[in-house]
Structure 1
Amino acid sequence: MSPHWSEAERELGDDGADSMVRPYTITRGRTAPERDDLTLITVLSAVPQAAEQAGRRLQPEHRTILARCLRQPAAVAELAADLDLPVSVTKILLGDLIAQGLLVARAPIAVARASGGVDLGLLTAVREGLRRL
C-alpha cells in the first residue's frame, strides 16, 4: 500500500471498493486524465524554481512526484510504481503538476533521436519501473 495511506485506510485492506477510496480522493473524483499525451514512457522533469515555491500547498502525492523529479527525470511508469498508485491516477496527478508549470513532459524517443542515440540507462530504468508495477 502507498506510504501516504492513513492507518485507518491500511486496516481496510485491498478488498475492492475500499481500495479505490483513496485514489478517488487524491484525484478529487476525477477518473480520467485531462491529457492524453502521457504514456508509460513519457519522461517528466521538475521545474526547479517553480517546484521549490509550490511547497506545502500541494497534496503529499504531488510533493512526492516533485521531489522524485527534482532528483532525476522519471518516466510515468516509474512514478506510478514509486507512489504505489494505478497509472491512471498517477497520470491525473502528473497532469495537475504540468498544468501548474511544475513539471515538463517529453517523449524519450524524440530526445533519443535528437541526441543521436538511445539512452540505455533510461530504457533500463523504465523497464525496472514496469517490472515493479
Structure 2
Amino acid sequence: MPDDPDDPDGRLLDDAVGRLVRPYTFSDGRTTPACDFDLMTMVVATGTELRRNVGLDHAHVLELCRTPVTVAEIAGHTRMPATVIKVLLSDLLERGAVVTRPFDFGKPGPVTVPDLDLLEALRDGLLKRL
C-alpha cells in the first residue's frame, strides 16, 4: 500500500479497491462545489496564508497546487473522485488560497508548409534503418 500521511497505518486505502472510507466524508458530505470547475480547469496556489486551519485533505490538495495543475491531475494524485476534489478546491478558492483559469490548449499558429526535402531525407533515413 502506498504511504499516505493521512493514513499512516494504511487502513483507509487498499490497492485493489481504493479508499475504504467514503470520499464524501472528506468534503463534509457535500457533493456540489460552490464554484464551477471542469476536469481541465488549471489550479495554482496563491501562497496566501489561511486564517483558519484546513483539514488534511484540503492541505494535501493545496500542496499539489504549488505548480499549475488540472482538476483531473489532482483527482488522480489523491485517488479521490473529481467531484470531491472540486468541493475541496471550491473551499480553497473561496478562501483565496488558489486561483483558477481554463486550460489553454494553445491557439493555433500560422499554418506552415513542411520542408519537403527534409521530410524525404527523414523517410530515406528511416527506410535505410529497416
Give 1:68's aligned residue: 64
Instruction: Give the unaligned 5+ runs of structure 2.
Output: 110-130
Could you list the structure 1 runs, at least 4 aligned residues long, displaced by more than 3 angstroms after superposition.
5-11
* Pair 1:6–1:31, CA change in 2 (3 A): farther
Cα–Cα, structure 1 residues 54 and 64, in superposed 2: closer, same or farther, change >3 Å?
same
Match of 1:77 among 61, 72, 78: 72
- Equivalent residue, structure 2, for 1:112: 106
Q: 1:68, CA displacement in angstroms?
A: 1.8
1:131 match: none
Equivalent pairs: percent with the same residue?
30
Matches within 5 A, 1:13-52: 14=17, 19=20, 21=22, 23-35=23-35, 37-48=36-47, 50=48
- 2:85 aligned with 1:90, yes or no? yes
Structure 2 CA distance, aligned partners of 1:84 and 1:65?
11
Q: CA deviation at 1:14?
A: 4.2
Q: Match of 2:12?
A: 9
Please list the CA deviations of residues 82-132 of structure 1 after superposition, one character each: whole Å capped at 9, or x if unmatched.
1110111111001010011100010023x834xx76xxxxxxxxxxxxxxx
Counterpart amino acid of 2:76?
Answer: A
CA 1:33–1:20 in 2, change beyond 3 Å: closer, same or farther? Answer: farther
Contact preservation (8 Å) 2:46, 2:99: yes
Letter in 2 for 1:43: M
TM-score, structure 2 as length reference: 0.66
Relative distance call for 1:29 and 1:6 in structure 2 (3 A) is: farther
Higher normalized contact order (CA 8 Å, seq sep 6+, divided by chain length): 1
> What CA distance in whole angstroms lies between the structure 2 residues aligned with 1:80 and 1:46?
16
Count residues in correspondence: 105
1:6 Cα deviation (Å)? 6.3
Rounded Cα–Cα distance in structure 2 between residues aligned with 1:79 and 1:55? 23
Q: Secondary structure at the match of 1:54?
A: coil
